[in-house]
């Protein structure tokens, strides 16, 4: 598979899509309206950004989104999560 970076957040799909468009968020955003991700992965802070390697392991978990979270920052975290 391909490496993937996704954001998981509360709220309706429409609200999150508008937020992503307004802020230029560089990753797909999933609306966790049923708390599936929050419960399965014990996410206590949303939005949460998760980087997944091609082998399915998690490269990083980042709580919150800020202006400095760019595609380059996500790539750096995927390559060197420490």
Q: What digits encode the pLDDT tens for the residues 37-78? A: 888 888 877 788 888 888 888 888 888 777 787 778 888 888
Span 15-42, mean pLDDT? 82
**Cα gap 20→49, rounded to integer Å:** 13
Q: Which of 1, 9, 3 is nearest to 77 (CA)?
A: 3
pLDDT at 25 over 80: no
Residues 6+ apart with CB under 8 A from 7: 25, 27, 28, 29, 30, 47, 48, 49, 50, 65
Beta-strand relationship, 29-31 and 48-52: unpaired
pLDDT at 18 over 80: yes
pLDDT at 81 over 70: no
């Amino acid at each position: 598979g391909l490496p993937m970076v996704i954001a998981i957040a509360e709220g309706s799909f429409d609200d999150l899509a508008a937020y992503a468009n307004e802020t230029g968020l560089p990753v797909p955003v999933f609306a966790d309206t049923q708390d599936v991700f929050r419960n399965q992965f014990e996410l206590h802070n949303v939005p949460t950004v998760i980087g997944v390697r091609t082998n399915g392991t998690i490269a990083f978990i980042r709580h919150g989104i800020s202006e400095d979270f760019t595609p380059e920052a996500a790539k750096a975290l995927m390559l060197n999560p420490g």
